Amino acid sequence: MAIIGRTGATPPDLTRVRPYGDTLDDGAVQLSFTLPVPFGDEAREAARLMALGMGLTEPSIYHGADLGEGYSFFIVYARTAVTVDFTKVVVPKVEGRRMTKTEIDTFISEQVGRKLVLLGACTGTDAHTVGIDAIMNLKGISGEKGLESYHEIEAHNLGSQVSNEALIEAAYRYNADALLVSQIVTQKDVHKTNLTELIELLEAEGLRDKLVVVAGGPRIGHELALELGYDAGFGPGTLAPDVAGFVAQQVVARGLATRGLLRGGKAG
Amino acid sequence: MGAASKLFLDESKVARARASASNIADSLTGFVRARTTVAVERTLLRLLGVDGIEEQGIPLPNVVVDQLARAGRLDRGVMLPFCSAMAALGLEPQQVAEAAARGELDLGTWEIHNEAEARALGERIGAEAVARVGRTAEERRERMARLSPPNETMLYVIVATGNIFEDAVQGKAAAVQGADVIAVIRSTGQSLLDFVPYGETTEGFGGTYATQANFRVMRTALDEVGERINRYVLLTNYCSGLCMPEIAAMGALERLDMMLNDALYGILFRDINPERTLIDQYFSRMINAHAGVIINTGEDNYLTTDDAIEATHTVLASQLINEQLAFRSGLQPWQLGLGHAFEMDPAARDGFLMELAQAQLVREVFPDHKLKYMPPTRYMTGNVFKGYVQDAMFNLVTAWTKQGIQLLGMHTEAMHTPHMHDRHMAIESARYILNNAASIGDEVEFKRDGLVVRRAHETVEQTMGLLEEVESMGLFEALAAGRFADVKRRRDGGRGRAGVVVRAADYFNPIEAGLRAALQLDANEASHGNHR
């Protein structure tokens, strides 16, 4: 069995893991927050009590500042006695093998036999296209080219503020295999409403099973995406091959290669 | 520039680029002046004092203008039939609009039997409206003279709670901490609404609706804190999207001090129809000019979709075009907060020096302009500790190149709208660096054949080339070809084109005429005085 955690010093007890400051199990954490009370000794004491109330011990208020208008800012260091059993941690992961751009193109041409059609969009009122652009556009990000550069993928970036209805229309128009939905704005959980509505519309149209549908964004995890009815969720740090590889493998595994929206018979 | 240029710029090349931009702007003037839009006409009503909504929530300016648009009678402008009805019925502007909303009056079928009287009335109330816009500039000047002026590099922070009353408290706190400019971020999606929401609002997504009542809440709050800290605090909002000129009017009435105002931004990033928004912008900028508003342009955004290292010259080219378009509407150099940004990949070797070259170049090409410098956004991550350092590097470039408006970077940029203490930390860092490195630009010179100077010269060459290309192909065609921000927009595509109307020969718009006179635009056009 592989060694988990550090070597060369006392190994951590993986059933009782705690934060590490500079000594094993010291439980050191740092936090900062603002209280809506005027700055002063009482505010400082309130910050200390706040940390204690969180279950932290030995809180030290290392810095406090008057933000004006009755607000006070604090930087606090403290310890926690909470432990986590690392041996029991389970995280759902996007299924499938991670492939390179070349492998994906080869995979599609051999297993699908035609180009895959992928539509990307920021839906609802969301106007932040940074994420979907990084995945879709030729240039890509971090030296990894986007889906537009794939030989075996026909990628259409529909841009920002696309309504769910317009996205479905486009799915018919392009005879899409997969929809990539980006949501950056998450204030008041607007992304969840929006993402849920798309799935409902797809189901009403009888399209849900004929498409691979994935969501992405800084606050979108795989688990949340699954919960909302998506095939996968892609969080921060995702690159084009992560998405393309997943979609290609899904299309093959689910036998969608020959079905498609129009190929399956239903006309738009 | 010239002998004084720290970058040893060739003045004649910059002049050539500027001449191309001037020709590009001139090529639009005829097209724009021959047209109006539903938004421009609604703006006239707002400047006459029409406000409020009907029972279904539709703003009264929309009700009136829609009556004419539906009847296909907007080509002579709203003011002639509107003033005709005012005179014939003996009503005030607001009363006419209310009658229209109640269905008692339809300007679409209104017959003008009193044209001379209507025109005379229009001239009179139009002149009053223009004077009202001018008084805003006067009041600002008086207040700035009485209180201490903002810092030379104005520190600009955003609030974006969705609730105007929370925004007001956060704005005041930021002012106390040292911010000079408070911008209320707009609720996402408002730019695509073809009406202005009404009243004080407490719900929004990623920001707060721009309404006239919300403008007033913020203005009152910032005036109050300004008196307390003895410094004039500037208020900013978005004069962009489909209601661009209406928001210019609302800003003029409520004394906003800065406006994000850039048709090119709307075209590229909001897919607004190019014709519509360039016509809207021409009139918006006249209002901004007369109200003493500083506009902010959005070239910084080009570097969020295009590569900041390769596309630097598109920013400078667009700034030169925006400068000329602004001059055509009567704005002065001090009113031009031309946008640019610190958006290069932090992993790039000597990226800091390339940023420095760009910022110094923009400073020298636009010596009398405010310049709005934008912080890193594209390469900000959840690593707030690294983000704080990225913002510090950005602040150092500002100190070095003396930018006029410094939009402060937030180390939580990639995560959420700023928390209370994010703004505090950003202001603290900026004040520290701007003070600690105050004279660095005066003390340190660039090597004549060094990286910074060579980079700036390359950018000038590329800018000249791009502007000559745009000049020969035309601005609309250049936008369609994706020359800016790597985004392609057709002149007949995008939102809002249906709201464009070709003016009839007897189109009547005394407010525009009054603004043109106040801004001496006709004299300038005749003498090519815009070509600076």
Predicted pLDDT at A268: 34
Predicted pLDDT at B42: 98
* A176-186 confidence digits (pLDDT tens): 999 999 987 76
Which residues have CB under 8 Å from A252's CB, separation 6+? Answer: A107, A111, A112
- A33 Cβ under 8 Å from any chain B Cβ: yes
Exactly one of B209, B265, B302, B507 is catalytic; which is it?
B265
- A258 Cβ under 8 Å from any chain B Cβ: no
- Helix then strand count (H, E) for chain B reads 21, 11
The 3-state DSSP composition of chain A as helix, strand, coil percent (nearest 5) reads 35, 25, 45
DSSP A39-62: SSHHHHHHHHHHHHHTTEEEEEEE
Kindly list the residues from chain A whose CB atom is less than 8 angstroms away from the CB atom of residue B382: 218, 236
Count Cα atoms within 13 angstroms, Cβ side, for B277. Answer: 31
Binding-site residues on chain B for chain A (CB distance < 8 A): 162, 169, 172-173, 175-177, 187-189, 191-192, 205-206, 269-271, 304-305, 307, 377-378, 381-382, 414-415, 417, 419-421, 424, 486
> Cα–Cα distance between A118 and A227 in angstroms, integer?
22
Structure confidence at residue B410 as a pLDDT band (50, 70, 90): very high
Asked if the Cβ–Cβ distance from B270 to A129 is below 8 Å, we say: no
Asked if the Cβ–Cβ distance from A218 to B307 is below 8 Å, we say: no
Q: Where are the beta strands (DSSP E) in B400-524?
A: 405-407, 500-502
Asked if the Cβ–Cβ distance from B176 to A73 is below 8 Å, we say: no
3-state secondary structure of A264: coil
Structure confidence at residue A219 as a pLDDT band (50, 70, 90): confident
ipTM score assigned to the predicted complex: 0.88
All domains of chain A in start order, with CATH: 1-89 (3.30.30.60), 101-253 (3.40.50.280)
Asked if the Cβ–Cβ distance from A127 to B421 is below 8 Å, we say: no
Predicted pLDDT at B295: 98
Q: Which of A68, A129, A159 lies closest to B176 in CB terms?
A: A68
Asked if the Cβ–Cβ distance from B169 to A69 is below 8 Å, we say: yes
Q: What is the mean pLDDT of residues B64-70?
A: 97
> Cα–Cα distance between B435 and B490 in angstroms, integer?
47
Q: Which helix (H) or strand (E) holds B288?
A: helix B274-290
Kindly list the residues from chain A whose CB atom is less than 8 angstroms away from the CB atom of residue B378: 130
> Cα–Cα distance between A203 and A182 in angstroms, integer?
19
Is B51 catalytic? The answer is no
Measured between CA atoms, how close is B42 to chain A, in angstroms? 25
How many CB pairs (< 8 A) connect A and B? Answer: 72
* B419-428 confidence digits (pLDDT tens): 999 999 999 9
Q: Sheet of B181-184: strands edge to edge? A: B336-337, B294-296, B258-260, B234-238, B181-184, B154-159, B405-407, B372-374, B339-341
**A241, A100 Cβ separation under 8 angstroms:** yes
* A68-78 confidence digits (pLDDT tens): 999 999 999 99
Predicted TM-score (pTM) of the model is 0.87
Cα B34 to Cα B31, B240, B345, B416: the distances in Å are 6, 21, 44, 44
Q: What is the Cα gyration radius of chain B?
A: 23
Closest residue on chain A to B166 (Cα): A69
Kindly list the residues from chain B whose CB atom is less than 8 angstroms away from the CB atom of residue A160: 269-271
What is the CB neighbour count within 10 angstroms for residue A17? 17
Q: What is the mean pLDDT of residues B80-104?
A: 98
> Cα–Cα distance between B401 and B102 in angstroms, integer?
57
Closest to B394 measured CA to CA, from B383, B381, B410: B410
Which residues have CB under 8 Å from B476's CB, separation 6+? Answer: B274, B275, B491
> Cα–Cα distance between B305 and A139 in angstroms, integer?
9
List, in sequence order, the alpha helices (H) in B34-114: 38-47, 60-70, 79-89, 93-101
Exactly one of B51, B167, B300, B306 is catalytic; which is it?
B300
3-state secondary structure of A231: coil
Asked if the Cβ–Cβ distance from B421 to A34 is below 8 Å, we say: yes
Q: What is the mean pLDDT of residues B205-214?
A: 93
Structure confidence at residue A3 as a pLDDT band (50, 70, 90): low
* A28-45 confidence digits (pLDDT tens): 999 999 999 999 999 999
Q: Which of B188, B382, B420 lies closest to A126 in CB terms?
A: B188
Measured between CA atoms, how close is A93 to chain B, in angstroms? 21
Q: Among residues 84-113 of chain A, which lie with CB inside 8 Å of chain B?
A: none
Predicted pLDDT at A192: 86
Q: Which of B192, B271, B424 lies closest to A159 in CB terms?
A: B271
Measured between CA atoms, how close is B390 to chain A, in angstroms? 17
Q: What is the mean pLDDT of residues A217-225?
A: 87
Predicted pLDDT at A56: 98
> Cα–Cα distance between B310 and A171 in angstroms, integer?
34
- A37 Cβ under 8 Å from any chain B Cβ: no
Q: Which residues pair with A117 in a beta bridge?
A: A154
Residue of A31, A156, A157, A185 for testing the chain B interface, max B β-carbons within 10 Å: A185
Residue B3 has pLDDT above 70, yes or no: no
Q: What is the mean pLDDT of residues A205-210?
A: 92
Least confident span in A117-126, B82-91, B233-242: A117-126
Q: Which of B175, B187, B382 lies closest to A236 in CB terms?
A: B382
Whole-number percent of chain A with pLDDT over 70: 93
- Pairing state between β B154-159 and B35-37: unpaired
Kindly list the residues from chain B whose CB atom is less than 8 angstroms away from the CB atom of residue A33: 421
Residue B129 has pLDDT above 80, yes or no: yes
Q: Which residues of A are catalytic?
A: 139
Measured between CA atoms, how close is A265 to chain B, in angstroms? 32
* B324-373 confidence digits (pLDDT tens): 999 999 999 999 999 999 999 999 999 999 999 999 999 999 999 999 99
Measured between CA atoms, how close is B513 to chain A, in angstroms? 36
Higher local confidence (pLDDT), B65 or B303: B65
3-state secondary structure of A31: strand
Asked if the Cβ–Cβ distance from A67 to B305 is below 8 Å, we say: no
Residue of A31, A72, A125 for testing the chain B interface, max B β-carbons within 10 Å: A125
Closest residue on chain B to A70 (Cα): B173
Whole-number percent of chain B with pLDDT over 90: 90
